[in-house]
Structure 1
């Protein structure tokens, strides 16, 4: 058996030298090094103007932490994608979240913050359908938002129809409402970015630039999209999630859902700033207690 009692012969994996060499350097006060760490001078300034920021300046800066509006769904300065199959309840779930945020109401039992102005861009539902859904939601919540705290852009908001956000002139039409909002919800990717091919990387460059701009403006962004057939991942090219911080996948539980209620399971396969979770939460909505009243309820 090899004798490991002589620690001086061990190799130091961090410094890449043996312990005997390290001891020699220590005894000689590291005299063979060409400079002293304490007296190390700042390197020469770049010959051309530099955009690089010293890490010490960043560490010393008074940077405001992000506002967690609805945990896992809405965080200021971050973009989240909620993906589900068609009919997977992603729109009405997001309408409920928007209604809670605009009124400062607890959402899925999570603590409520101050009311925040919300912009909901709905490219699919009619104005009547939007009306009927929010009537149900606000009857359940028990209050409505203050004027202007929840604004809806729908298919009839523009004479020529919903603009195609694939191009700058389309996105610019939304900017006045975006600038007035803390939360921006885009429903949904396929119908808002109509001329973008989901499997083409270059078609999503401008979309990602827009998301980066919204994050830089400290907006909390929620993008709705579709999943693949197996509901394992979002549909399309990986570039679709390049500027996305968190990906949520919602799946309708067909065994537990009935004609009067839907049961939705949500997992979190991607999180840029935290832990991923294969089982984030389960909730139900509809006539969940059998008394004819509409409600959302998180299942513990």
Structure 2
């Protein structure tokens, strides 16, 4: 075992009790040789030449007889069962296939091990005792074990680690309670999975080869959905055949949803091949796919496919919505109120007091051109350097990752230099403030609403106290007005929070002044900050705005009071000047009118033109003294 420490095998009494429980639950246990067996396939090979017949006895032979010391692993005979064995080593691909299986076939007891992402899901055959199915490709092998076969369910894997189950061990779940699945559902799953591992599902020979030859002419709109979700939706949509309009409509929707990718073609071609009247033509699929890019942009896309999938199968869910990955530990269980109250939980620290907590989330939104990037850079620098900015104070320096999606690199550099000079303090080390600017990379940054984009941010945020995403519309391609479109980004923000990392989102305001798109994004946020221009604002003033807290979780009173902020640029750098709204420029002018100040003095004090002062004075003299 190359020096691997092998855990002790279970004692014989424990093995006997396990096999008795399995038989009582309706399974037929099989004795399997230990991993130190000198014969072929140690740890996996059933004991005895006639092991199937022995397991089919009532009770099975290993239940009626004491266990052998050299065969303490325990397998399960698959007569009447469907064990979906995902033998894929790539972690991301294995997890995606696992999610696809759950989405298409349902939640079920799942076997795994701690040193691999390979999993086995156990279902019950809806009818009869079907045999083995499989699909094999460059990415791995997926088998559906059946009549006359077995899988090892308990004991040690040949690598030396114990096998484990989620949500509960199989011996605690009656066989009759396993989810039943049909052969049609399994075939659809293998078709979809085959396209992901580059294999040929037995029901559709040759389709993967044909798909690989299809040209990739991207959609001008870019991909609108996770290809895994699209593949799962097509697997759920029936294809009765002989309906050209439906066939073409589903093909066009798939093309838009996947940006005309080879994976999209493979999924649609596999769906086409399921036509019950046998009229599928690979050549017709290829020709139609090549022509879809000439179709005008329309409303049809991923949403149409998801709608049709739910119409055909009301319980259908997108795999991306399934948050459970391959099991890595015990199933979560609730705690009592007494346990929660007795916990020694450290108080929540602040990154920028009072409005940006540790492991929290905040959003700043405003119209274009108001100065959002100046604000996000200032907050990022203050947190990294441990200083003050915009009514916020950082108790200590913390590490920050700033992700920029649209600012020219030279402009980003100029603004950072001005802010650093104006604050007069540097972070304690160079890695306390790190940047990921899209303009620095030839191909930009991956879409943060995609699995690749989320994975990149999760990887780079390791050890960061704050991640700034400036801004949402340039960093993520998603449908802003649809609540479901926000889900991938919400998952990213929550994932960072669970890792102890805060997120600051920068977003645009719509024409009506409110944040653009769905309001669902506010649900998980601690703080929402709206920036609005004053009525008397003039373009010559630069960045000047009113700062309003629209959501203030954990702070109130004076800490949540609105204020006016003005950015002043000089040879000394960038500096923010903040005044309470009660002392806004117009209010200050009213006060100075009452004191008899001259218009030029008021213009200087308020940093506005004399024309603005004369306009205010006219309002003041008309009876606006109490404004």
TM-score normalised to the size of structure 2? 0.38
Q: 2:459 aligns with which of 161, 172, 176?
A: 176
User: Which structure has the bigger radius of gyration?
Assistant: 2
Q: After the TM superposition, which segments of 4 or more aligned residues of structure 1 sit over 4 Å from their partners?
A: 47-50, 274-279, 290-293
Equivalent-residue separation in structure 2 for 1:293 and 1:118 (angstroms): 21
Indicate conservation of the 8 Å contact 1:252/1:265, yes or no: yes
Q: Which moves more between the two structures, 123-132 or 166-175?
A: 166-175
SS of 1:212 mapped into structure 2: helix
Deviation at 1:130, TM superposition (A): 0.9
Check the 8 A contact 1:257/1:263 in 2, yes or no: no
Question: For 1:267, which of 540, 543, 548 is the aligned residue?
Answer: 548
Mapping of residues 1-300 of structure 1, within 5 Å: 51-108=333-390, 110-145=392-427, 146-194=429-477, 196-231=478-513, 233-253=514-534, 255-257=536-538, 259-275=540-556, 279-287=561-569, 294-300=574-580
**In 1, Cα distance between the equivalents of 2:523 and 2:392?**
28
Any conservation in 2 of the 1:263–1:285 contact (CA below 8 Å)? yes
Q: Is the 8 A contact 1:73 1:222 kept in 2?
A: no
Equivalent pairs, count = 250
Q: Whole-Å Cα distance in 2 between the matches of residues 86 and 218 of structure 1?
A: 31
Cα deviation, residue 166, structure 1:
0.9
1:84-132 C-alpha deviation (Å, 9 max, x unpaired): 0111211111101111111111223544411110111010112111110
Task: Name the structure with the higher helix share.
Answer: 2
Alpha-carbon distance between aligned partners in 1 of 2:396 and 2:332, rounded to the nearest angstrom: 40
SS in 2 for 1:173: helix
Which structure exhibits the higher relative contact order, with contacts defined as CA atoms closer than 8 Å and separated by 6 or more residues?
1
- 8 Å CA contact 1:124, 1:155 repeated in 2: yes
Residues 58, 89 of structure 1: CA spacing in aligned structure 2 closer, same or farther, 3 A cutoff? same
Aligned-residue CA RMSD (Å): 2.5
Inter-partner Cα distance in structure 2 for 1:109 and 1:279: 10
Unpaired runs of 5+ in structure 2? 1-171, 174-330, 581-627
For 1:107 and 1:69, locate their aligned partners in 2 and report how far apart those are by CA, in whole Å: 12
Measured after TM superposition, the shift of residue 242 of structure 1 is 2.7
Task: Say if 1:257 and 1:72 are closer, same or farther in 2 by CA, change over 3 A.
Answer: farther
The alignment partner of 2:375 has SS state of helix
Q: 1:180 to 1:126 in 2, by over 3 A?
A: farther
> Residues 158 and 261 (structure 1 numbering): CA distance in 2 closer, same or farther, change over 3 Å?
closer
Q: CA deviation digits over 1:218-272, x for unaligned, max 9?
A: 21211011112232x2111122223222211011336255625432211112234
1:136–1:294 CA contact under 8 A, matched in 2: yes
Q: Distance in 1 between matches of 2:456 and 2:573?
A: 38
**Superimposed CA distance per residue, residues 58-78 of structure 1 (whole angstroms, 9 cap, x where no aligned partner):** 111111121112135421121
Relative distance call for 1:74 and 1:278 in structure 2 (3 A) is: closer
Structure 1 CA distance for aligned equivalents of residues 574 and 541 of structure 2: 9
C-alpha separation between the residues in 2 aligned to 1:292 and 1:255?
Answer: 27
In the alignment, structure 1 segments of 5+ residues that lack a partner are: 1-46
TM-aligned CA distance change 1:291 to 1:92, over 3 Å: closer
Q: How many angstroms apart in 2 are the aligned matches of 1:236 and 1:127? A: 28
CA-CA distance at 1:164 after TM superposition: 0.3
1:215 CA displacement: 1.4
Q: Please, which moves more after superposition, 222-231 or 68-77?
A: 68-77
Query: What is the distance in 2 between the residues matched to 1:278 and 1:228?
Result: 24
* Distance in 2 between residues matched to 1:123 and 1:109, nearest whole Å: 26
